[in-house]
Amino acid sequence: MMNDWKSVVLTPKATIRDAMRTIDKAALRIGLVCDEQLTLLGTVTDGDIRRGLLAACDMFDSVTKVMNKNPTVVKSTDTRQQRIDIMDKHDLLSLPIVDDNHCLIGLETLHQVLQPKKQDNPVFIMAGGFGTRLRPLTDHCPKPMLRVGDKPMLEHLINQFISLGFHDFYISTHYMPEQISSHFGDGGKWDVTITYVHEDSPLGTGGALGLLPKSLPKLPLIMMNGDVLTKVDFKRLLDHHQNNDFDATMCVREIEHQISFGVVESQDNLITAMVEKPTYRYRINTGIYVLSPECVASVKPNTKIDLPTLLAQRMEKEEKVGIYTSYDYWLDIGQMADYQKAQQDIKGFS
């Protein structure tokens, strides 16, 4: 999420002339009128100002006289596709992003979502698993190369990253690596760079980090499993990681689980509470992470380690390990039922 929106924030004391100068200088084509707590009071565009002047407003009148007091807004939980759909429906070039208290936290522009800025952060995709739970489909094909619709699931994933501006890819292989490398090559077909990291023996979900070249750019790295179908906005995930100055970020999802029976709590054989069919909410690990260069460098070559263990080690060193809650589509294709669901879900992908 870009921080440019801060340059177009106006107070209610600002004049129409102030608004015109702000809009012209920032080139975002919008002004955001907020109070001292950043509560969004309204938006103002060139069109609002023009209509106000035609209605006999003065250049030194308050911007509140011409602002749109009921602008269309989105929440941080709205997905990239939802934002595109809203802009298309209402013919908008930008959307203020607000929290539950209607406080301004960002600005999404049509240019941003359709023509994302190039992202130099490396992307590391784990594609070496055996996929034993999907046999016999994986007897002669690595799981990430199983086709979902008309493409391997790994290609769908790489395309999602490309659509957000990422171009520097690393793929960890082990099981039938030649099928992956022969399909993707060096990435030239997709106008990206793909480098392969081969695990001679499985090193766990985090061990392959120790095999990455030392020449990686000193930028946070996105790491994830290659057997996932998702619409996660990796740019927003990365922004969240950087804005919070995390050493590592785990992408999580919230799930609900309802107990089909009444739950009874007791102490010393006496009932203390009864809840009928309660619903519990949990955060689950999606297998998607953002790691700082220091976190990546902490994994030595040929070290077998899982990502949760690595994150625990970083926490022991008092590094900041946080979460990012995603509300975007996500499906871990671990079993045959998941694979069959993916074949149906992919039909709704744009």
Write out pLDDT tens, residues 58-84.
889 999 999 999 999 988 777 777 788
Can you give the pLDDT at residue 2?
A: 46
**pTM higher than the cut 0.85:** no
Three-class SS of the chain: CCCHHHHHEECCCCEHHHHHHHHHHHCCCCEEEECCCCEEEEEECHHHHHHHHHCCCCCCCEHHHCCECCCCCEECCCCHHHHHHHHHHHCCCEEEEECCCCEEEEEEEHHHHHCCCCECCCEEEECCCCCHHHCCCCCCCCHHHCEECCEEHHHHHHHHHHHCCECEEEEEECCCHHHHHHHHCCCHHHCCEEEEEECCCCCHHHHHHHHCCCCCCCCCEEEEECCEEECCCHHHHHHHHHHCCCCEEEEEEEEEEECCCCEEEEECCEEEEEECCCEEEEEEEEEEEEECHHHHHCCCCCCCCCHHHHHHHHHHCCCCEEEEECCCCEEECCCHHHHHHHHHHHHHCC
Q: Which residues of 261-280 are buried (b: 16+ CB within 10 A; e: fewer)?
A: eeeeeeeeeeeeeeeeeeee
Q: Please say if the pLDDT value at position 117 is more than 80.
A: no
Can you give the pLDDT at residue 15?
A: 93
Cβ proximity of 310 and 299 under 8 Å:
yes
Amino acid at 312: A
Write out pLDDT tens, residues 265-276.
898 888 999 898
Round the CA-based radius of gyration of the chain to a whole number and report it: 24
Can you give the pLDDT at residue 57?
A: 87
Mean pLDDT of 232-240: 89
Q: Please say if the pLDDT value at position 349 is more than 80.
A: no
Looking at every residue in the chain, the average pLDDT score rounds to 88
Write out pLDDT tens, residues 122-180.
999 998 888 788 888 888 888 899 888 888 999 999 999 998 889 999 999 988 889 99
Can you give the pLDDT at residue 1?
A: 42
**What is the CATH T-level fold of the domain 123-348, as seen in this structure?**
Spore Coat Polysaccharide Biosynthesis Protein SpsA; Chain A (3.90.550)
Domain residue extents for the chain? 4-114, 123-348
Can you give the pLDDT at residue 315?
A: 94
4-114 and 123-348, same CATH topology: no
Per-residue pLDDT band at 350 (split at 50, 70, 90)? low
- The tokens describing 210, both together, are 């120790």
User: Which CATH number describes the domain made up of 4-114?
Assistant: 3.10.580.10
Q: Please say if the pLDDT value at position 341 is more than 50.
A: yes
Per-residue pLDDT band at 201 (split at 50, 70, 90)? confident
Mean pLDDT of 4-13: 86
